[in-house]
């Protein structure tokens, strides 16, 4: 029987994985059976009655792994409640233009499967962890670095989504 909830994510440097884990922990607190997995490790969606799928934003877009996962599984995902979350840095300053761009990173996946909700969260950028190409880009655009994740906001969103996809 499909009685579990899947939280699936892509990540390059681990910060989105930690956001996914926090979402999973919040759902478990409400007594829901949850699996938190990288999208690359999810082969079978049959155990799941709902899915929450996320990606960090790189150059305005979701990582291809999460997009491809949704594309490949779109038929199944259209038959269960789905929510999306995006993790990025530009939203950390809270301006409407940054929010619009972060929203736009989900345009493609929204067209594939319409979500019941979509969350956008500030992420983490630490230049010491980055690959050389990524560090070069960050220097060129003078991005601010730091950990801007707001765990309270993540947990509040997870609880709001739970009440939609797995009402008590």
Ligand X SMILES: Cc1cc2nc3c(=O)[nH]c(=O)nc-3n(C[C@H](O)[C@H](O)[C@H](O)COP(=O)(O)O)c2cc1C
Per CB under 6 A, residues contacting ligand X are 11-16, 56-60, 87-91, 102, 123-125, 130, 134, 137-138
Contact between 8 and 38 (Cβ < 8 Å): yes
Q: What is the DSSP string of 28-77?
A: HHTT--EEEEEGGG----TTEEEEEEEEEEETTEE-HHHHHHHHHTHHHH
Q: How far apart are CA 5 and CA 61, in angstroms?
A: 25
Q: Between residues 74 and 145, which has the closer beta carbon with respect to ligand X?
A: 145
Q: Between residues 124 and 162, which has the closer beta carbon with respect to ligand X?
A: 124
Q: Between residues 17 and 166, which has the closer beta carbon with respect to ligand X?
A: 17
Q: How far apart are CA 69 and CA 77, in angstroms?
A: 10
Contact between 21 and 27 (Cβ < 8 Å): no
Q: How far is the CB of 85 from ligand X (least distance, A)?
A: 11
Q: How far is the CB of 19 from ligand X (least distance, A)?
A: 8
Q: How far is the CB of 48 from ligand X (least distance, A)?
A: 22
Q: How far is the CB of 71 from ligand X (least distance, A)?
A: 20
Q: Between residues 14 and 64, which has the closer beta carbon with respect to ligand X?
A: 14
């Amino acid at each position: 029987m499909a009685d579990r909830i899947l939280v699936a994510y892509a990540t390059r440097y681990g910060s989105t994985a930690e956001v996914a884990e926090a979402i999973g922990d919040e759902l478990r607190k409400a007594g829901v059976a949850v699996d938190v997995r990288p999208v690359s490790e999810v082969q079978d969606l049959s155990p799941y009655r709902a899915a929450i799928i996320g990606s960090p934003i790189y150059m305005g877009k979701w990582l291809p792994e999460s997009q491809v996962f949704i594309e490949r599984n779109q038929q199944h995902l259209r038959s269960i409640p789905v929510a999306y979350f995006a993790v990025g840095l530009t939203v950390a300053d809270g301006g409407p233009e940054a929010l619009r761009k972060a929203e736009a990173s989900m345009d493609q996946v929204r067209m594939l499967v319409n979500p019941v909700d979509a969350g956008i969260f500030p992420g983490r950028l630490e230049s010491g962890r980055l690959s050389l190409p990524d560090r070069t880009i960050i220097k060129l655009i003078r991005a601010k670095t730091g950990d801007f994740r707001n765990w309270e906001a993540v947990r509040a969103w997870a609880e709001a989504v739970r009440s939609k996809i797995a009402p008590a």
